Structure formats: structure tokens, C-alpha cells
Structure 1
Amino acid sequence: MSELLLTDEERDRAGTRLLTLLNGHERGIPAAQVLPEPDRETLTALLSDPMPEDGIGVDALFDRWEHEILPNSTTVAHPRFLAYVLGPPNGIGPYAEAVAAAINQNCNFWQLSPAASVVERAVLEWLAEVVGFPSSAKGILTGGGSLATLQALAAALHDRVPGFRATGLQRPAPALVVYTSVEAHRSVDKAAAILGIGLDHVRHIPTDSQHRMDVTALTEAIAADRSAGRQPWCVVATCGTVNTGAVDPLDAIADLCAEQDLWLHVDGAYGALFLLCEEMRAVMGGCARADSISLDPHKTLFAPLEAGCLLVRDGAKLRDAYAFDSSYLTVAEDPLLTDYMDYGPQLSRGFKALKVWSALQAFGVNAFRTTMARTLDLARRLADGIEATPGLTLLAPVTLTAVCFAIDGVDHTAALQALAADNTALLGPVLLDGRHGIRACITNHRTTPADIDLILDRLKAMSSPPVEPAGRPLSTVDQ
């Protein structure tokens, strides 16, 4: 018998303790500290532990999980965890992850993962339909939006730069230029650096009063680069900027890209799945005109990390970028099954699609549509409360679920620390147009109107100056 298997008794015990752990974690979320103070002594001990020569067994391992790991983990599932575009996992996610780990499918070529191949294809076709892509679209699930953008730009290079697979950038040719906005995610810069484009050839286009890419400035930048002998080849627009949730004017950018023969990639990691909400389609409909788009099921579909996605309108272009022949991996092509090693850089790949597919099966798309609509409503509730409160200033229009605001006369770093320390909420900092502020991002299916009202009450207290008692001036302590 393998030394690495559990006995029947150990397996039963592990199952019982796992259910107890998951149930206890779920029930403890409302009372948990959203940002627990790390036990540095415990964490130091974890780091200094030597590699164990002998195992400690199932019960001792669960004890360590319960007493050392969980208490020193950020409570991402707390309903007032609102600092990032990161929601808690949906209820079925942990169970789907367990099944995926148990069967351990390698989702590279279909012989190693036939059911997984079909499940991933189904998920990708569903997501392509949400975006509005044609049936010719293909895609792949990734580790997140940053990797999806990197892989999209690599596909764009193969498509727009003749001979790129053979010569790469080692060629006597004009410098390649990519365009994005000053509000774009840093993954665009990172992709340009990794792919050899270079940060000197990334143009950060100014934004308008709503923090959307300025199409006139984009047009001028492209013309200037062409006049200087450089080669524009790609525009990265954003459907939901991280700071404010702004959506670039996608139709106007798509018109310009068509006119200039540029690849259009849309970073929709935050916003694109809000296309499930009918009210957002007018703002985001231009997503359907992109050459490629990234979106994140681990955000608004609340899949456990990691679950990103890249979709390419013309699926053949994605395969052209990533398919390589290798005799030791060759199997017969099958119209039903897909070799995902031909659609991305990885060979070994986990079964990410199962948790996305399982959640849609368990809850149905209407449940996610309702949840997204509720987060939009909660963001407007917070924004309305801020606008109605003297001493609080809304810093940007609320397009999605990011709400940026300032508290007059208050140090925002100290305010963020205070909000976390008293367990009101974990919010984040923001810098907009040179002004420092606070950002709440409501991508949390557990958040309720009561949570928003609690935050507003605390913000109102912070924004109200202390009242001077009659007959004596404010002391230093009062101030």
C-alpha cells in the first residue's frame, strides 16, 4: 500500500473534520475580523519549521489548519471586505475544487482530460455568448486577467507582425507601439515588458472627466507615432477600470482600430461580466467588437481563485499563436474535444473550468445576474449616502461597483486603518486627478444594505467635527 494514501479510517476522519472546518468557517464569517492582526510568533514558527521527516497525521494537520492557518488569513468572505475587486467564493466552489483535485485532470490535450475538455469548451462558449462573440471565437481559462492580457497581446503580435514566430522582435523594422489609458491596469505595462515591446513603447492616453480613454487623444497619439516612423499595432481598452469602474468608449475605439488596422484588446477582467445585467449592455456593448477580451470568473462569478479567461473573436488566430507540433503529445483530432495546449502557453493545466461550470449548474445564471444587479444597487446606495453627507465628497462617477470618495480634513491612511481596526470595513486607498481618497469596491455577494449603512454611519461620524462643549475650548486630546 502506498505511504501517501489515507487508510479508510483516516479518510473518514478527514472527511468529518473537513466538513466541520468548512461549516465552522461559514458560520463564523459575520463575527470575524475582516483584517485579523497576524500572530507574528505563529507565522515566524511556520517559517522556521524544518521540512518534516515524519508526518504528523490527519488530526494534527487539521489542528494546524484550524489554529495557525485560518486565524492568520484575511477574511475575504466578510461582507464588508470591499478593498479590492475580489469577492468571496460561491457556496459550491470549495466542493468543486475538491473534486477537481481528486481526479487531477491535466487539461492540455484531450486524451488526458476528455470530460474536462468538454466542460471548459462549454464554459468558454457560454462566456463568448455573454460578450457577443461569434461562434468562430475560441478561448482558454487562465490564472487571471493579467495572464489573459499577456496571452492576448502575444496572439496579437503573431497576427499583426509578419514573421513574428520566426524572428520575434529581432528584426530590422519600426518600433511597435501599444496604446492604453492612464487608468489601465498595470498588467498592460507588465505584458509589454515581458513580451519585449518595452515600456517606452506603451502610450498612456489621457482620460476624460469620467476617467475614460480620450479617443481624440488616442487618435493624435497614433498619428504622431506613424509620422515618427513607428508602428502602432494594438490598443488595450478597459471595461471597468480598477480605480473607478469606468468603461472606455468601446464603440468609438473599435471604429478607430478598424480604420487604423489595429488589434483591439478589451481588459474586461472587472467589468465585462456585468454584461449579464441588461442595464449595462448599452455601456458595454462595444465589447463584442474587440479582437480579444479578458474577463475574470473569479471576480463576478465568484469562483475560487484562480479562474481568468481569454476569448479571441477569430479562434484560429489564438491557435496560430500557441500551437506547436510535438510527436509525443499527438493524438487524433476530435471535433468534440479540444487540445488546450494549442491555445495558450501552458502544457500542464488544472481543471479550472469545473468550479465555473459547477456554480452555473448549481445556481443558474439568473442567480449571478441578480447578485450583480444587487452589487450595482449597493454601490449606488453608498454613493448616494456620500453625496448626501456634508464633509464627504464623491470623487468619480459610479459606473460599476467602485465608489471613490474623500473625507474633508481627514488623513485617509489613518481613516482606512481606523475602519479596519474597529471592523467597520476593509476599504482601499485611491489617487484620482492628484487627490487622495478612499475606494470601496462592492464585488461581494455577501454584502447587504445594512453593511453599507453601517459604513456610511461610520463615515458620517468621521466627517463630523467634534462639538466644542460650552464654556471651554477643545483640548489637544479632543482635537
Structure 2
Amino acid sequence: MSLILDDAERRRANDLLARFLDGYERNLDDTPIVPEIDRDTLQELMHEGFPATGTGVEGFFRDLDERIVPNSTAVSHPRFLAYVLGPPTGIAAYAEAVAATLNQNCNFWQLSPAASVIERTVIGWLASRFGFDQERAGGILTGGGSIATLNALTVALHARRPDFRATGLQAGRAPLVLYTSAEAHRCVDKAAGILGIGLDHVRHIPTDDRLRMRVDLLAEAVRADRAAGLEPFCVVATAGTVTTGSVDPLGEIADLAEAEDLWLHVDGAYGALFVLAEPVAEMFREIRRADSVALDPHKLLFAPLEAGCLLVRDAATLRAAYAYSSSYLTVAQDPLMHDYMDHGPQLSRSFKALKIWAALRTFGTDAFGSALTGMLELAGHLGRRVTAEPGLELMAPVTLTAVCIRLPGLSGPEHTTLLARLAEEGTALLGPAVVGGAHGIRVCITNHRTTRADIDAIVDRLAELSRA
């Protein structure tokens, strides 16, 4: 028995795959955003096990068409607007197929020379968008922004405590303290818990009326912790909070971090890549002063999952945290290549860079700037339409593309019921929002397929329901 398809099977698989990709693209607008889940089918999938002789190519594609796709959320639908998750680019599926075929292990360069250069190229291009010194900066592609932030805080720990490997986190010294916004993503707390910093040593700084971290209160917290014998070591600013898209005052935070000797990490997983959109690029200029930045190419560069990124201003800090020697992995250094096993916690790593590189090469960088600018314009249009409707209310300023809306008079549970109704009737999949203690709904436009007609259809329906 062989694990290789013969000529006939390969031709059939190619034909069926082409039909699937073409059909999915053509029928996307008519596909239910949220599937009507067939629980009996999913129970079968869970319990039927794997056949001894196999179902063959035809059987795989039959399962795909009849059981998997009908029970999958259509995240590429133009009115999938619940989360910061856009549809992949048109070249993505082909790049992923090539990556799977080559199966490069992107750990040390001998196993993946071209992949090493392509990842280095992608990292260099991203770093240049934020004004990082190309000769000094570095980074690594990760599974997502949460892992990028975890890796960044690991690097920050090693930078603060160069003997960290030998002594551990808090051995006999003042506890380290981490600062972030009350609106920060939960990945900051999760990283602090995983790394042993402890949630008791994470300070969630209140925000201003634009939901940005208050730098005056940050300064007070740092002073208070120093007076209490603790050791402030890092501040995490947010460039695009997950609920409202607010951007912390990055320049002021950078000034404070520099004065207080704090590592500055910017969580830009949602918003930082809007630096490619000319209307808001200036908002992200001060990221150049950060020690590290988390990005998500699987959001605003529309790469298929997974594709996160960590950038650091000084690549040496990555190696100080992650480089370990081992005779069985030793290869001659090459100035053209990077051994990415020394830039992050993983040894075995997939060829994530190809799908990003392929899209940038295929469509050109201007296409991404145009797509992001278009989404910003749609968010502005949505905000204006909501403001003009007497039965709808904006819950926060529209900074990027997250628009939070409430229907005055509805409770939190009633907003939840509203979200379920919109999804069930096929209007849109939107998300929940809590802003300043008030409950509402959130439209997050990170979908390059969304049109003004889609936005108008959502507002028209919300207005109709508010009147009812």
C-alpha cells in the first residue's frame, strides 16, 4: 500500500480541488454566514473513526462537500464582521498548497534556505513600515498576535534579567511589574500568567474618554510601585484595542518608558498594520520607538491562519532569549540566512512566510493600502449612518474600523438576542461589545470583500428593528 497518489488519482484530486476552490468563490455571497449545524453529522465525524483501507480521493472530497463545508462558518462572507478576521487573499490557497508540498522546516537554514530568506524578507519589509533600523531590527513569524506578545514579554524578561536562564524569574529579587491598559487584549494577562509574572503584578491603567491609556495614571502607578519596593520593567501599549479600535498615546508612553527604563511593547495585532493606509499612517509613527511590536498578518494582510509576527528593534535581544547550543543542530553560519530556531521558542516551524510573501508579490503593496483605506472609509460611513439614525447610538469614537453600537433601551441580554437574530436571518454576523459598562454590538470591518451596500443593509435592518 502506498501513501502516494498515482497519476489517475492525482489528476482526479487536482480536478476536484479546482472545482471546490472555484465553487466556493463563486457561491460565497449566497452561502449562509453561520451554518445550520447538523449535529448528527458532526457526531458521526467524531465517532466513526478511520477506515483500515481508506476512502480514497473521491471519499475525501465527498466528506468535504457533504459534511465539512456545510458545517463551517463562512468567514469570507462580506457580512462576516464579528471579529478582527478577514478573508484570505485569492492567491492564499495556492501558496498554502505549495508550502505543504515543499514542507520546509523553518528552524535552521540548511533545512529551508529559500524559506529562511523569504521570512527574512517579510520581516524586513514589515520592520521598515515602522521605521525600524534594517541593520539592527529583527523578528519572527508566529502563530498569532497572542504568541507574539508572549514571546515579546519573554524577551523583555531576559533583557531585564540577563541571568534569567540560570536564576529564574523572581529569585530573591524585587518582583517585576507589568503595565497595560484597562482596554488591553487578554493575551497580556495570559502571557503574564504563563511566564510567572503573576496577575497580581499586572497593572491595568484606566483610560480617557477616547478609551486610551492615561499616561498620567501610568506614571503614578510606576512611582507607587517603585516606592513599594517593586521593580517596574515593561509597559504594553495598544495600537487598536480589540473592542473599540482606540490607539494609546504611543509617543507619550514611549517618553515615559524611556525615562523610567521600561521595555515598551506595542500590541498592534489589530491596528498597527493600518500604517499602510495613508489617511491614518501618522497615528502609528511612534511605534518606531518601541522595543517590540506584535502584528497579525492573518488580519490586515489577509493571510490565512496562522500568521502572526513579532518585531524587535534589536535582533540581539531575540537571540539572547532563545538561542541555545546543541551539537545535533549545528550548521555553518551564513550571512544570507537566519536560524529561526534561535529567534523563538519553536524548533519545528511551518513555512508561514510564503503565503504573506506570495500575496505581496502577486497583488503589490499598493493593493493592501487601498484595501485598508477602503475599510476605514466604510467604518466612517457606518459611524455617520448610525449617528443619523434616531434609534441607534455610537458607543465610542470610530478610530479605526471597530464600530460599537447600542440600541437605547435594550439590556445586555436583549443585545445578545439581537445578535443571534441578525445571524440567524442572514443579515450579518456581528459581535458583542461592552463599553464603559454599557452593552451593545460591534461591527468590525476587517473584510476586504465588504461593500457600502453591505453596511447600508446592516444599518437599515438595525434601524428597522429599533423602530419595532
TM-score, normalised by the number of residues in structure 2: 0.98
Pick one of 439, 450, 466 that aligns with 1:463.
Answer: 466
SS at match of 1:74: coil
One-letter amino acid of the structure 2 residue matched with residue 425 of structure 1: A
Which residue number corresponds to residue 106 of structure 1? 105
SS at match of 2:51: coil
Which residue number corresponds to residue 425 of structure 2? 422
* CA shift digits 1:136-163 (9 cap, x unpaired): 1000000000000000000000001241
One-letter amino acid of the structure 2 residue matched with residue 327 of structure 1: S
Paired residues for 1:77-92 under 5 Å: 77-92=76-91
Whether the 8 Å contact between 1:131 and 1:272 is mirrored in structure 2 is: no
Whether the 8 Å contact between 1:393 and 1:407 is mirrored in structure 2 is: yes
1:379 aligns with 2:384: no
Which residue number corresponds to residue 369 of structure 1? 369
- Deviation of the 1:280 alpha carbon: 1.4
- Deviation of the 1:170 alpha carbon: 5.0
One-letter amino acid of the structure 1 residue matched with residue 429 of structure 2: L
Paired residues for 1:102-141 under 5 Å: 102-135=101-134, 136-141=136-141
One-letter amino acid of the structure 1 residue matched with residue 348 of structure 2: S
C-alpha separation between the residues in 2 aligned to 1:282 and 1:60?
A: 53
- Deviation of the 1:391 alpha carbon: 1.3
- Deviation of the 1:49 alpha carbon: 1.0
SS at match of 2:345: coil
One-letter amino acid of the structure 1 residue matched with residue 152 of structure 2: A
C-alpha separation between the residues in 2 aligned to 1:24 and 1:228?
A: 63
TM-score, normalised by the number of residues in structure 1: 0.96
Identical columns (%): 62
Whether the 8 Å contact between 2:275 and 2:282 is mirrored in structure 1 is: no
C-alpha separation between the residues in 2 aligned to 1:313 and 1:162?
A: 18
One-letter amino acid of the structure 2 residue matched with residue 167 of structure 1: T
C-alpha separation between the residues in 2 aligned to 1:11 and 1:167?
A: 55
SS at match of 1:38: coil
Paired residues for 1:94-243 under 5 Å: 94-135=93-134, 136-243=136-243
C-alpha separation between the residues in 2 aligned to 1:42 and 1:50?
A: 13
SS at match of 1:414: helix
Pick one of 419, 435, 441 that aligns with 1:438.
Answer: 441
Q: Which moved more, 1:411-420 or 1:15-24?
A: 411-420
Unaligned runs of 5+ in 2: none
Instruction: Provide the aligned length of Structure 1 versus Structure 2.
Output: 464
- Deviation of the 1:414 alpha carbon: 1.3
* CA shift digits 1:181-239 (9 cap, x unpaired): 11000000000000000111000000000000000110000011000000000000000
One-letter amino acid of the structure 2 residue matched with residue 222 of structure 1: V
Whether the 8 Å contact between 1:226 and 1:232 is mirrored in structure 2 is: yes
C-alpha separation between the residues in 2 aligned to 1:48 and 1:331?
A: 46
Whether the 8 Å contact between 2:170 and 2:176 is mirrored in structure 1 is: no
Which residue number corresponds to residue 471 of structure 1? none
SS at match of 2:440: strand
One-letter amino acid of the structure 1 residue matched with residue 186 of structure 2: R
Whether the 8 Å contact between 1:181 and 1:206 is mirrored in structure 2 is: yes
Which residue number corresponds to residue 254 of structure 1? 254
Whether the 8 Å contact between 1:272 and 1:284 is mirrored in structure 2 is: yes
C-alpha separation between the residues in 2 aligned to 1:439 and 1:180?
A: 23
SS at match of 2:237: strand
SS at match of 2:29: coil
Runs of 4+ residues over 3 Å off in structure 1:
none
* CA shift digits 1:394-429 (9 cap, x unpaired): 000011000001012232011101111111100000
C-alpha separation between the residues in 2 aligned to 1:19 and 1:183?
A: 44
Which residue number corresponds to residue 41 of structure 2? 42
Which residue number corresponds to residue 271 of structure 2? 271
* CA shift digits 1:41-75 (9 cap, x unpaired): 10011011123222111001100011100000000
SS at match of 2:264: strand
Which residue number corresponds to residue 473 of structure 1? none
Paired residues for 1:306-385 under 5 Å: 306-385=306-385
Whether the 8 Å contact between 2:257 and 2:264 is mirrored in structure 1 is: yes
Whether the 8 Å contact between 2:278 and 2:369 is mirrored in structure 1 is: no
Whether the 8 Å contact between 1:178 and 1:235 is mirrored in structure 2 is: yes
Which residue number corresponds to residue 399 of structure 1? 399
C-alpha separation between the residues in 1 aligned to 2:339 and 2:357?
A: 19
* CA shift digits 1:285-308 (9 cap, x unpaired): 111110000101000100000000
Which residue number corresponds to residue 298 of structure 1? 298
* CA shift digits 1:83-134 (9 cap, x unpaired): 0000011100000000000000000000000000000000000000111111
C-alpha separation between the residues in 2 aligned to 1:118 and 1:283?
A: 31
- Deviation of the 1:281 alpha carbon: 2.4
Unaligned runs of 5+ in 1: 466-479
SS at match of 1:208: coil
